[in-house]
Structure 1
């Protein structure tokens, strides 16, 4: 991954975290890593554990941010979430998967943020 893509990803995750907190989510963890991969944000809302995948784009040439969470990524996130719940002693709690789509403008500022609850 190029440095520019990493920078854009970090910028999107920062914006998404602030956006979720404004919406009343309680952030549990950011960038949880293990051998299976990484969870961008783990939060709580309304008694549910919410696994949030953040996708950032500066254009829609390759599709919308949320469209980039294909079935392979969904499968990987489900495995990661199961591992997280087991490791943290949270197995059995209700959970869901959300996607936060972040669009950047031409100057690199956040243009728009969209939350897709229960994305998959």
Structure 2
């Protein structure tokens, strides 16, 4: 594989997973508000509204189970980064005080099957 090609494939995998996750959320009647919000402290893949609750969603996508289930990649460090980004988003959008939670959507793309999507609601608490 040429230099840099692996990271390109990883980005494409991530984009595909985020698209699948957004479609999954829309099927559940969530309203997508923002995607790929980045700031100095971190990043949030999808920000959605579930009724009156803001939902900050981390999407993890894998092609195999070789590295374990995708949700295991949402480590305490990653949770802190997502939390920082969520707080920044809330501040920039004047949304402090609204009900919010953190979900994880774990997607496994197996060559022979339809994508396996696991939606973990309220996966973790705000991490500092």
TM tier, smaller = over 0.9
> Counterparts of 1:65 and 1:83 in 2: how far apart (Å)?
26
> Counterparts of 1:2 and 1:55 in 2: how far apart (Å)?
15
Structure 1: runs of 5+ lacking an equivalent: none
Q: Is the 8 A contact 2:63 2:110 kept in 1?
A: yes
**Which residue, out of 7, 18, 23, partners 2:23?**
18
How many angstroms does 1:77 deviate by? Answer: 0.8
Matches within 5 A, 1:12-91: 12-91=17-96
TM-score by length of 1: 0.93
Aligned residues: 119
The yes-or-no answer on 1:2 pairing with 2:7 is yes
Superposed CA RMSD in Å reads 1.4
Runs ≥4 in structure 1, deviation > 6 angstroms?
none
Q: Is the 8 A contact 1:15 1:110 kept in 2?
A: no
TM-score by length of 2: 0.88
The yes-or-no answer on 1:115 pairing with 2:111 is no
How many angstroms does 1:102 deviate by? Answer: 0.8
CA deviation vs aligned residue, 1:76-110 (integer Å, no higher than 9, x gap):
11111111101100011110000011110126x74
